[in-house]
Amino acid sequence: ETGVTQTPRHLVMGMTNKKSLKCEQHLGHNAMYWYKQSAKKPLELMFVYNFKEQTENNSVPSRFSPECPNSSHLFLHLHTLQPEDSALYLCASSQGQGAQYEQYFGPGTRLTVT
């Protein structure tokens, strides 16, 4: 399935590095999301974009910086991360940002911060 793609699939970075995660959706959706999934924790919503505008920032530290140039692409820029930021980062999209819309997830980027 290629509805939502994410690159890279795996990333190892040092605490002083700068890297970016990329997400692309081919579903014609208008809303895109970044989630963090740590071991044995529920998915944590990080950011929401609707029609390219950020509508939610769930108190995410500034070392995570999202960018949404259009409705099909979403980036997460990373800098000076901490080891506790190691997790699976999932991108999702939905037709709109309404309660009735189900989300479609990408395969995720497994991030390890050393």
- Cα–Cα distance measured from residue 69 to residue 87, given in angstroms and rounded to the nearest whole number: 25
Pairing of strands 10-13, 109-113: parallel
Three-state SS for 85? helix
66 touching another protein, by CB under 8 A: no
Q: Identify which of residues 16 and 100 has a Cβ nearer to another protein in the complex.
A: 100
Region from 22-30, 61-69, 78-86, 94-102 binding another protein, contact rule CB under 8 A? 94-102
Q: Which residues of this protein are in contact with another protein, per CB under 8 A?
A: 40-43, 45, 48, 56, 88, 90, 97-100, 102-108, 110
